[in-house]
Chain A
Amino acid sequence: MMNLEERAYGLRRDIIEEVYRSEAGHVGGDLSVIDILTVLYFKVMNVSPENWTSPDRDRFFLSKGHCVDALYMVLGEKGFFDKQEAIQTFSAFGSRYIGHPNTDVPGIEMNSGSLGHGLALGVGTALAAKMDHRTYRTYVVLGDGEMAEGSNYEAMMAAGHYKLDNLCATVDLNRLQISGTTKEVMCSDDMAEKFRAFGWNVISVEDGNDCGQLLAAYEQAATYTGKPTAVIAHTVKGKGVSFMEDNKSWHHGVMKKEQYEQAVMELEARRAELSDFKNQAEACGEKQARCGKEA
């Protein structure tokens, strides 16, 4: 089975293809959030094409909806639709794969796109779960630049007030937004303290591009009772492509051919490395098992 890191790097490669072909999308944020999406969709959430119409499926809202390019790749990989269709038609005339989440695309819960809406939608679905005594959970992913939107704080307050422990918000804290650093544009320091002040349980993830650290945080969140949980994931914008990393100009930059080729080369090399590492680890594990048996 493919490990999460390897899958995330494969999806990064898909994102590069999608945004290069379309000359659209928000590649920097896609690359910072992709590990979060990969862990949620492939390890944490109970949502798939098979249970999509079930009222008990987990709910997901990508509040930083401009990074839907990354979500399309994850949903395609998950089997909601043909990923190639999304890659080929993203942002094209008449395509359903537009630049923000919409329900014409299988696997998307609600039409969205304006920042500052996802958390309140999540409060609604989490409240509905409590009212109906259902056990599904709601996951929302926000951007750190997005946390300047005041509506988020109304939703945080309501989630804390109603002790929505079936709600888990993740802030993709990559410290950059379109005009500069979040610190320069509108200070969003002490994100953890902001959530705590509204009655949330907070888990800080030191490396929000590390699937193992993210998984541990979500496992902890799932068992926490009495408060909603915020996962503050410290990520790197543009993660995985050297010239994009931590560079605000790649918020929605368009790649030249040489840049595209370099990005592909770097991502495929890293993916191969992860795959080799996995194969070696598996071989080593098998050898150890055999040795143990022989002994």
Chain B
Amino acid sequence: MENKITNRQVICDTLMNAAQTDKNITVVCSDSRGSASLTAFADAYPEQFIEMGIAEQNLVTVSAGLASCGKKVFAASPACFLSTRSYEQVKVDVAYSCSNVTLIGISGGVSYGALGMTHHSCQDIAAFASLPDMRVYLPSDRFQTAELIQALLQDTRPAYVRVSRTASKDIYGENMNFQLDRANVLSQGEDVLLVACGEMVAECLEAVELLAQKGIHAGLLDMYCVKPLDKETLLREAAKTKLVVTVEEHSPYGGLGSLAAQAISEKDPKKIINLSLPDSHMIAGTNREIFAHYGLDGKGIMESVCRILT
């Protein structure tokens, strides 16, 4: 049965669970408690919830101020605004001051679909990964999201977590093998290595099956930790094939593809192809329709790999 529980819902559940015993956990929203599925947190822990109104710059800097006083802050806002409107605030107040702030970018990538380019966040990996001390995570399903938030609750460094608006397909299960900053090997194959993050992992899993039907053996890495990139696992798995294909819901520039290509080409040069959203204004539709249009669904990824291999 298809999963209906969104990653943002899982974040709320995880934070509510932790907030029972940790009174420093503080959630800050920009009129985004509903869209971030954090209304339940706000209702249950009003003294640990702060509403900043539609003011994303203020959301981020106030969060850093709170963190400087010992608060463990989770600031949730649409990824499109967090990563562009408040970019300087993230650079200066969160990253530069190494504040204990986790930025939750909700409705990431093309989640908002037909709302258009203003609401897409296809440059967030590039923007945040280039900031010193900033970590960038795109969990691929609800189980990994829960584990990631649990892990981030244990440390005090800044991080950005991008999740989709819609429910992600299940990839893992309860008691999954999760290690912070370690990629998960989801498939082994000598013909091609797929490296993906976020929503693209499920699409790649489908592509792996479709490729297998054609006799092509594909490996798959879930590189949810885009920064710090798990170079060790990446290089180990890449060494097994002649072709690496990265897949991301992001601009072609500065995202997982760029980071992975940089890491591989430094140590083990080989053919690396990046499948991404285009460097152009995008077609309207649901996120799934947009993925399919740009060849980022399972079938499209399979077709691209076949084309590259022939």
Interface residues of A (CB under 8 A from B): 55, 59, 103, 109-114, 117, 120-129, 131-132, 150-151, 154-155, 157-158, 161
Contact = CB atoms under 8 A, between A and B. Distances in A.
15 contacts: A103-B97, A109-B68, A110-B97, A112-B92, A123-B58, A123-B62, A124-B61, A124-B68, A124-B69, A126-B65, A128-B69, A150-B57, A157-B55, A158-B52, A161-B53
Interface pairs A-B: 8 shortest CB-CB: A124-B65, A128-B69, A120-B61, A154-B58, A154-B55, A121-B65, A124-B62, A124-B66
B111 interface: no
B68 A125 contact: yes
B88 interface: yes
Contact of A55 (B52, B57, B69): B69
A126 B65 CA distance: 8
B68 A121 contact: yes
Contact of B89 (A103, A117, A127, A132): A117
A120 B47 contact: no
A126 B69 CA distance: 9
B50 interface: yes
A124 B94 CA distance: 13
B165 interface: no
Interface in B51-85: 52-53, 55, 57-58, 61-71
A117 B47 contact: no
Contacts of A110: 64-65, 68, 93, 97
A158 B58 contact: yes
A37 to B, nearest CB: 20
B172 interface: no
A121 B64 CA distance: 7
B178 interface: no
Nearest to A110: B97
Contacts of B64: 110, 121, 124
B66 A128 contact: yes
Contacts of B97: 103, 110-112
A154 B61 CA distance: 11
Nearest to A126: B65
B57 A151 contact: yes
Contact of A155 (B62, B66, B88, B92): B62
A127 B55 contact: no
Nearest to B92: A114
Contacts of A158: 52-53, 55, 58, 62
A214 to B, nearest CB: 24
Helix, strand, loop or mixed for chain A's interface? helix
Contacts of A155: 58, 61-62
Contacts, number: 95
Contacts of A131: 26, 47-48, 71
Given A55-B70, A120-B89, 14 more contacts: A59-B69, A112-B97, A114-B92, A120-B57, A120-B62, A120-B93, A121-B61, A121-B93, A124-B64, A155-B62, A157-B55, A157-B58, A158-B52, A158-B58
B57 A154 contact: yes
Report which residue of A55, A120, A123, A157 has the largest number of chain B beta carbons within 10 angstroms of its beta carbon: A120
Contacts of A157: 53, 55, 58
Given A155-B58, A157-B55, A158-B53, A128 B65 contact: yes
A160 to B, nearest CB: 11
Contacts of B62: 120-121, 123-124, 127, 155, 158
B37 to A, nearest CB: 23
Interface string B94-106: 0011000000000
A150 B92 CA distance: 16
A63 B74 CA distance: 24
A52 to B, nearest CB: 13
Nearest to B93: A117
B68 A127 contact: no
Contacts of A129: 69
B65 A125 contact: yes
Contact of B58 (A109, A113, A120): A120
Nearest to A155: B58
Nearest to B73: A124
A121 B69 CA distance: 11
A94 B222 CA distance: 41
A164 to B, nearest CB: 11
A68 B63 CA distance: 23
Contacts of B92: 111-114, 117
B158 to A, nearest CB: 12
B134 to A, nearest CB: 14
A151 B61 contact: yes
Contacts of B66: 124-125, 127-128
A110 B100 CA distance: 12
A111 B96 contact: yes
Contacts of B52: 154, 158
Contacts of A151: 57-58, 61, 89
A110 B69 CA distance: 11
Report which residue of B48, B52, B88 has the largest number of chain A beta carbons within 10 angstroms of its beta carbon: B52
Interface string B18-42: 0000000010000000000000000
A112 B63 CA distance: 15
